[in-house]
Structure 1
Amino acid sequence: MSRERATALLVDFDGVLRRWDPAVAAGVEREYGLPEGVLGEIAMSWGLLQPVLTGQVSHARWMASVADALIPTIGDPERARAAVEQWQSYRGEVDPEVLAFVREVRAAGIRVGLGTNATDLLDADLAALDLTDELDVVVNSSVVGVHKPAKEYFQAACAALDTPPARVLFVDDQDRAVAGARVAGLSAHRWSGPADLRYLRAALAC
């Protein structure tokens, strides 16, 4: 049995619409004498990450916790805070090919939502990257109170798009998120790079 054609697109932020240059974090770690990869390792530890993704703590509190965790390595609280602040001053870059695709999809009359596990800094990031007017809806896990890949997250996203799950195409670079979307009844594509855009255009008939 064939699926209904998608009439809405839900796209992930980090790893799809926004990309990060790993050299930035590496440069901060070298400057402060930190082990390679430690900033991301601490920040992404589930005990620190889960509360900020569900809105239980602020982005600022999350980063303060990262700085606290660095103190034993750096030995100076002020330097630990400075390292985290310097690292966080970089807010990533928009993938121009994905943005062009989003614009093309919207021009074809298809609603586009941003479906992301994010913090309370998301709106500021979207504004800084000039993306505020590029999306029809933004579904932020820290606002919804539940994160991908939970079924409830995708239910909230479909409600925000005012589109039934069977007619939403979701694009994400994480296997768990893609699997969660499919469980929730959405079509889902595992993003591997701009070469995927040809398939996505065909799937949306735009």
Structure 2
Amino acid sequence: MPPRERAQALLIDLDGVLRRWDPTPMIAVEVAYGLEPAALLETSMSWDIYRPAVAGEITDAEWMGLVSSRLPIDPDRAAEAVAKWQDYRGEPDPDALAFVREVRAAGRKVGLATNATDRLRPDLAALGLADEVDVVISSWEQRLHKPAPEFFARACELIGYPPKQVLFIDDDDRVVRGARAAGLSAYRWSGPEHVAYLRKALDLPE
């Protein structure tokens, strides 16, 4: 069996890879409003409201309204808690960002491929990430979400390379498996300790 050809482009996930979250400010909001720690996160990730939010079926504001309606506190306080919880938008991961910059400096294209809502582009601008990638592939805009094979096909089309020439990085094992099934090389991000391997996968200069 011939060796797999080296990837010529990179697709990278946002949350858990290029953006990291400090749980402290989010938990502080929950405590202040008498909610259990992680109550807001767990409610927001309920599949019946999370899926339409990232599939382009409802807006971020509508999604947060549904989250608010499910909290076991006074509706006005619930809406206030959700608004304060959303004030914190995370921060760029310095290791992932350094790798993205290295890849682009070597002449490789980098695409952000993420499940997101219509708040994605304002978030990228606020975080200073909008110009750090060549293309943004948003599930909300494409009406396709990871790990659907159609999402990966569209992402490869937008970055301009066939799946066999694209390396995909995500922090979710299920999504990584989906990318591999779609024909991409895929790697689960757990930090910078394997960046040397990723450099080789992209055939970057030493």
Q: TM-score range by the shorter chain?
A: over 0.9
**Could you report, residue by residue, the CA deviation over 1:4-57 in whole angstroms, capped at 9, with x for unpaired residues?**
110000000000000001112211111011012110111000001000111000
Asked whether 1:13 is paired with 2:11, we answer: no
Which residue matches 1:67? 68
**Could you report, residue by residue, the CA deviation over 1:55-83 in whole angstroms, capped at 9, with x for unpaired residues?**
0000000001111111xx21x21110110
For residue 83 of structure 2, the aligned residue among 75, 82, 85 is: 85
- What is the aligned residue count? 203
Consecutive unaligned residues in structure 1, runs of 5 or more: none
**Could you report, residue by residue, the CA deviation over 1:154-194 in whole angstroms, capped at 9, with x for unpaired residues?**
00000000100000000000011100001110000011111
The structural deviation recorded for 1:86 is 0.4
Moved over 2 A (4+): none
Which residue matches 1:46? 47
| RMSD value, Cα | 0.7
Cα distance between partner residues in 2 of 1:56 and 1:187: 30
- What is the one-letter code of the residue matched to 1:181? A
Give matches, 1:17-166, under 5 Å: 17-70=18-71, 73-74=72-73, 76-166=74-164
Consecutive unaligned residues in structure 2, runs of 5 or more: none
**Could you report, residue by residue, the CA deviation over 1:78-127 in whole angstroms, capped at 9, with x for unpaired residues?**
11011000000000000111111111100101000001000000000000
Percent sequence identity is 58
- What is the one-letter code of the residue matched to 2:36? P
Contact map agreement 2:17 2:170 (CA 8 A) in 1:
yes
**1:48 is paired with a residue of what secondary structure?**
helix
When normalised by structure 2's length, the TM-score is 0.97
Contact map agreement 2:95 2:191 (CA 8 A) in 1:
no
**1:10 is paired with a residue of what secondary structure?**
strand
